[in-house]
Amino acid sequence: MRRFCPWLVGLLVVASASPLRAQDRLQDRINVVASFSILGDFVRNVGGERVGVTTLVGPNGDVHVYTPAPMDAKKVADAKLLVINGLGLEGWLPRLVQSAGSKATIVTATLGIAPIKIDAAPDPHAWQSVLNAKIYVANIRDALMAADPADAAVFRANAQSYLKELDGLDREVREAVAKIPDGRRKVISTHDAFGYLALAYGIEFIAPLGVSTESEASARDIAAIISQIKSLKIPAVFLENISDPRLIRRIAAETGTRIGGTLYSDSLTAENGDAPTYIDMVRHNIRTLSRALAN
C-alpha cells in the first residue's frame, strides 16, 4: 500500500477541497477490463482512482484455459479499454470481444517486447522480467492517456512513481541473484513460464526429462529425473506439478537436493496470499529461489 500514499494524499486533498466535483469525477471513471490479474494490477497502479478496473481471470485463475462466463461478456461490452497480454496468451479473447459486441479499444501490453520463442511460438509470460513489466506499464499509461486526455497528467505521474518502484524491484532481484553462488543458479522446474526470468537474471530453469504432469509417473521417469539432477548437480527442485508430495520428497532425498517452494507464474493470489500484487509476486519468487539455492 505504501506506493499509493503520495497521490492518495493528493487525491484526498482535492476531494476534501471540492467534494461535489470529486463525486462527479468518480462517476466518469473510465472502465478498463484487464484479461488477468497481473495486468489488472498494472492498470490499477497507473490509473489509480481515475479508472475502474475489472479482471476477467481473477486471482489464482488459469488464464491459459479460461472459459469466459456470460458475466465476462457484459464486462467486456461495458469497457472502454481492454488490456490484454497478447503473444497468444488469451486465445479465448477475440471471440469474446466479438460476441460481446464490444467497442473497447484493445491495448496489447506486450507491444514492443521482443518475445522469446518456444518452438516458433512466442512465449507469452513476458511479465516475469521486471524490465518487460516496465514496457507493460508504459503501454498501459499511453493507452490511458489517449483514452482520457483530461487526466493525462495523473496517469503520467502515477506511472512515473510506479516505474521507479519497478526499477527498485529490478535492482533487488539482481542483488538477490548475485548472492547466489555461480554454479548453483539452476533449478529443475516443471513450470514452462520462467523463460523471461531466466533470460533476464541468469537463473537456469531446466525442464525435467520426460515428465508428463497428467499421468502417473513410471519408474523410468523418476530414474531419469534423478540421473539428470545428479549429473547436472542441480541444487533445488520445483516440481509442484507432480501430484504426490511423497514422490517429490523421495526424489529430493535420493539426490540430496532441496525442495523449492511455490513459484507464482500466471496469476496473483488473493489479498491475503503470498502475492497479491505484481511486486509482491516477484519478491516472493526471488525469495523462494534464493532460499532454495543458497548454500
Residues found near other proteins in the complex (CB under 8 A): 210, 215-223, 226, 243-244, 246-247, 249-251, 253-254
Q: Which three cell numbers stand for residue 290?
A: 534464493
SS3 117: strand
Give the nearer residue to other proteins in terms of CB position, either 168 or 256: 256
Q: Which three cell numbers stand for residue 85?
A: 497480454
Q: Which three cell numbers stand for residue 222?
A: 523418476
Taking every pair of C-alpha atoms in the chain, what is the biggest distance, in angstroms? 71
Instruction: Write the DSSP symbol of residue 66.
Output: -
Distance CA 69, CA 225 (A): 40
Q: CB 151 → other proteins: shortest distance, Å?
A: 44
Give the nearer residue to other proteins in terms of CB position, either 13 or 219: 219
Rounded to the nearest 10°, the torsion over CA 38, 84, 26, 154 is 80
Distance CA 226, CA 208 (A): 9
DSSP string, 169-196: HHHHHHHHHHHS-GGG-EEEES----HH
Give the nearer residue to other proteins in terms of CB position, either 116 or 247: 247
Q: CB 250 → other proteins: shortest distance, Å?
A: 5
Q: CB 251 → other proteins: shortest distance, Å?
A: 8
Give the nearer residue to other proteins in terms of CB position, either 192 or 216: 216
Q: CB 104 → other proteins: shortest distance, Å?
A: 34
Q: CB 264 → other proteins: shortest distance, Å?
A: 21
Give the nearer residue to other proteins in terms of CB position, either 145 or 222: 222
Give the nearer residue to other proteins in terms of CB position, either 28 or 216: 216
Q: CB 227 → other proteins: shortest distance, Å?
A: 8
Q: Which residues of 98-131 are buried (b: 16+ CB within 10 A; e: fewer)?
A: eebebebebbbbbeebebbeeeeebbbbbbbbbe
Distance CA 172, CA 284 (A): 12
Give the nearer residue to other proteins in terms of CB position, either 22 or 211: 211
The DSSP bridge pattern shows strands 121-122 and 117-118 to be antiparallel
Q: CB 13 → other proteins: shortest distance, Å?
A: 46
